[in-house]
Amino acid sequence: MPYFIFCIHNHQPVGNFESVIEDAYRDSYWPFLKAIAKHPSIKLTIHNSGFLFDWMMENHPEYIELLRSMVASGQAEVMGGGYYEPVLCVIPEEDRLSQIRMMSDKVEEVFGKRPRGIWLAERVWEPMLPTTIRNAGLEYLLVDDYHFIKAGLDRKDLGGYYITEDQGNVVRIFPGSEALRYLIPFRQVDALEDHLKELGTFLRKGDAAIYGDDGEKFGVWPGTHKWVFDEGWLDAFFGMVEKNAEWLKSVTISEYLDREDALGKVYLPTTSYMEMGEWALPAEASRTYTELIEDVKGMEDGGRIRRFLQGGTWRNFFAKYPEANWLHKRMLLVSKELSRLSTQARPGGGLERARTFLYKAQCNDAYWHGVFGGLYLPHLRTKVYENLIRAEESAGTGFTGEGATVEFMDLDADGHDEAVIRTEDLGLFFSPHNGGGLYELDYRPRAANLSNTLSRWEEGYHYKLLSMGSVEAGAEAKSIHEMVKVKEEGLEKYLKYDTSRRGSFMEHFLDGGATLDSFFENEYRDLGDFFQGRYDASAEDGTLKLSREGSALGVGYTVLKEVKALDKSSFRVKYRVKSHEKVLRRDFRFAVELNLMLPCCDGPACKYQSSPPMPDEEGIGLGSRGEVKGIRELGLIDTHLGIKAEILLSAPATLWRFPIHTVSLSEGGFEKIYQGSCLLFQFPVKEDGMEAAFTVRVEGI
């Protein structure tokens, strides 16, 4: 008799809004569990990721109670995983094992049974994973049939599990059915029954219909709550499975494993689910590939072609988004520091706490972008930095010395060293190779990175917005291929693209041709070659010296910037710009660009204070561009974070500032997201150059 495997994965990102989780619980997790519990013959294999699990333990013990009784009765099997749902292949092996064991311990503690399976976060497969999984004590996992088809297997041979291995370490791997993923819960139960019956005629004795997917499709996805619960889809679905129990046996994955043998051996390529392959590609390739997939559907020979088409791999998000790369490498730095500590004889609760913060920071959502915000969501990135800094604070690795020192290390793994200055309160991460800019500015008492911006990257899907023309908010436009929703009017005006990651203390030479608007639109002309140019770096007595011999409009210039911590919470960046020839160009301006996630949002709790005051001081975070002449002081106040930063200039400057808004896709459609503010301080250039200094002080409020 064939089997039916029903596997559900529930997950909430670390750092997600409390209200969002509560809504998801109310609309999906709880009604789902209650519904299936009423059909005790329907077996469930379920995974709740650790952050959500802890949240339920604390806020909704009734969920855990019900699930526990279902485990006790044999109706449900609980899977393990990396505790905070990391993409396993990109975190250190030590952390992989530790996070998986942490989850297994928790499952055993709560449900009395150690899990046998691992839910693989985002189904991101790499061939070395079996060794990790086995070493962590687990024996099976479920990915998509897509993974298997990319290994050359035929869909008809996917009615069970396969053996795969690395270095002889064996795991059992199940192919979740794409067809079932598209049917459940989106089609009528009748259609699903027909599909199962048709499938049944192909299934061999011992074969299974295998479903594995996100639990949020039952109630969280737009429109699904009404359909799945209010209109009774889920209950009808379970009823249908019960009705067919004579020929289709509902089993947990472990029950299946104990009854049936493997179909063979398989080796999967680096892949995730099909859509991830579209998202992970570089923008142009992503668009080309997505369109190709659509076009191929209409081709006579489409199935044969589609079988061998593959998109990008998950790790490519680190090449696609330097901000994701930085997050990841910053996380690796913390992990390495903790690992080093743990080999020393220095036990203590601090290190244990630090590890938990690190693991939370490894939660995958903030590191990539598909159609669910992810990296584009500032609150998720903020939470990663918060957890990383907290980990450092707990372990005592953030600031160990007496005074500030300059340390060189290739933090972002681009083959060139960063220069890191740490004081008791601050962490300053400069990248000499990338314009000598400041790419991370930590204020440790609030566990915040004030430099947590995101550039306006071109996305492969932006053309869909453009092809709609000017649209009104809420409009739905059906492009050639799919429905696209727009949350807000005039979004296409925000499709301005940056060419590099946004940092601070980066230099431009501008003339009258550059205007605030052209600068915002990234369509100005930079007369110099300093912005994103390569700087030499050296350190002397705690001062970081960054210098570059470059040119502007054919004249040689040396730009020297000296960075020095003044005390625990302030630092100075001193500029000396020397011209190699005496030239005077009246409208020549030396401009220093800062990009800060401070204020952290465009809400009313945040404001700027400048001297002289800005024309729309309260509104600066609300989407407006502006200019202030003769500015000497700027205060950036964020009452949400409880941080105030003051910037004092040694000479008056003209300030341009504008909010950085990205346009990205989320489940609700296209949306604009505030990613910080760009501040451009402009100084006149004399015939032999100029000098100016910035003093930055950060404090809690």
The residues of the shown chain that bind a second copy, judged by CB under 8 A, are: 89-90, 92, 126-128, 150-154, 163, 165, 167-170, 172, 261-262, 264-271, 280-282, 284-286, 288-289, 292, 295-296, 301, 304-305, 307-313, 315-316, 318-319, 325, 329, 332-333, 336, 410, 413-415, 534
Q: Look at the chain and count its residues.
A: 701
Exactly one of 27, 77, 95, 122 is catalytic; which is it? 122
Strand partners, 696: 571, 647
Is 214 a known active-site residue?
Answer: yes
Is 122 a known active-site residue?
Answer: yes
Q: How far is the CB of 323 from a second copy (least distance, A)?
A: 13
Q: Which is nearer to a second copy, 48 or 99 (CB)?
A: 99
DSSP string, 413-425: SSSS-EEEEE-SS
Q: What phi and psi values does residue 292 have, to the nearest 5 degrees? A: -60, -45
- Closest of 314, 448, 440, 374 to residue 673, by C-alpha: 374
Q: Which is nearer to a second copy, 63 or 318 (CB)?
A: 318
Output the six-digit token pair for 472. 């009104």
Q: Which is nearer to a second copy, 97 or 673 (CB)?
A: 97
Q: How far is the CB of 625 from a second copy (least distance, A)?
A: 31
The rounded distance, in Å, linking the Cα atoms of 56 and 63 is 7
Q: Which is nearer to a second copy, 46 or 91 (CB)?
A: 91
The rounded distance, in Å, linking the Cα atoms of 1 and 253 is 16
Output the six-digit token pair for 539. 């350190």
The H-or-E segment that residue 69 falls in is: helix 61-72
Helices (H), ranges, 407-550: 462-466, 516-520
Whether the Cβ atoms of residue 544 and residue 481 lie closer than 8 Å to each other: no
For residue 475, the Cα-to-chain-centroid distance in whole angstroms is 28
- Closest of 1, 4, 51 to residue 25, by C-alpha: 51
Q: Which is nearer to a second copy, 455 or 682 (CB)?
A: 455
The pairing of strands 80-81 and 117-119 is parallel
Q: How far is the CB of 679 from a second copy (least distance, A)?
A: 28
Output the six-digit token pair for 528. 């110099």
Q: How far is the CB of 653 from a second copy (least distance, A)?
A: 33
Residue with tokens 């220093």: 592
Whether the Cβ atoms of residue 413 and residue 336 lie closer than 8 Å to each other: no
Q: Is 642 left (phi over 0), alpha (psi -120 to 50) or beta?
A: left
Q: How far is the CB of 423 from a second copy (least distance, A)?
A: 25
DSSP label of 271? B
The rounded distance, in Å, linking the Cα atoms of 213 and 23 is 20
Q: How far is the CB of 420 from a second copy (least distance, A)?
A: 15
Exactly one of 108, 214, 492, 511 is catalytic; which is it? 214
Q: Which is nearer to a second copy, 8 or 149 (CB)?
A: 149
Q: Which is nearer to a second copy, 135 or 695 (CB)?
A: 135
Q: How far is the CB of 416 from a second copy (least distance, A)?
A: 9
Output the six-digit token pair for 620. 């600066």
The residues that are catalytic are 122, 214
